[in-house]
Amino acid sequence: MHYPIGLLFDLLASSSALPWNITVHFKSFPEKDLLHCPSKDAIEAHFMSCMKEADALKHKSQVINEMQKKDHKQLWMGLQNDRFDQFWAINRKLMEYPAEENGFRYIPFRIYQTTTERPFIQKLFRPVAADGQLHTLGDLLKEVCPSAVAPEDGEKKNQVMIHGIEPMLETPLQWLSEHLSYPDNFLHISIIPQPTD
């Protein structure tokens, strides 16, 4: 319930055929493994909390705090009702940054691995280096999760997936954040073992 469905697909079923068959249990589900969802209001509160956290990282919460309650509601209703235009009219503001800054303050990201007990990795990471160079996905992984990146002369052991695709490690992190973030404004990155077939 608290992970986006695309992330779950990347982590659990990216090598399976589409359409992905899932079973949803409304009762007698493993409560020790899954969060119980008490109401739609709880889902909305969780979503808005993630949006606020992402904006705190990107803009020191300035954008989300300048929005009115109706803007927050429009974000949620657009997502809930699958109305992209309604959602994007507000979310666009959260994806902008002043031209002189060359990017967000920090990139809101979470890295998930199927091979660890840790739910995810999240650290502060700037999209632009001190020398003005844009950081790439590879730079992020080398600093935050070095085991995910194959050595230059070594065998590739992992796939890095975002939205079901494997982006090049040379892709600028700012671009990924602007174009491949989930609706909660986080870049959800899956690191899965390289398929053997």
Domains identified in the chain and CATH numbers: 38-95 (1.10.246.190), 101-196 (3.10.20.90)
Dihedral pair phi/psi, residue 121, rounded to 5° = -110, 130
What is the spatial distance between Cα 46 and Cα 41, in angstroms, rounded to a whole number? 9
pLDDT of residue 27: 77
Q: For 175, what's the count of Cα atoms within 13 Å in the CB-facing half-sphere?
A: 10
Q: pTM, whole model, 2 decimals?
A: 0.88
Whether the ω angle into residue 19 lies within 30 degrees of 0, i.e. cis, is: yes
Q: Which two tokens stand for residue 116?
A: 């660890």
| Residues in the chain with pLDDT values less than 70 | 1, 35, 197
pLDDT of residue 197: 64
DSSP strand pairing (187-193 vs 109-113) = parallel
Q: Are 75 and 92 in contact (CB under 8 A)?
A: no
Nearest of 169, 188, 184, 171 to residue 95 by alpha carbon = 184
pLDDT of residue 62: 94
Dihedral pair phi/psi, residue 26, rounded to 5° = -95, -15
What is the spatial distance between Cα 47 and Cα 121, in angstroms, rounded to a whole number? 19
pLDDT of residue 40: 85
Q: Are 1 and 24 in contact (CB under 8 A)?
A: no
What is the spatial distance between Cα 32 and Cα 162, in angstroms, rounded to a whole number? 27
| Residue written as token pair 């073992």 | 193
pLDDT of residue 45: 92
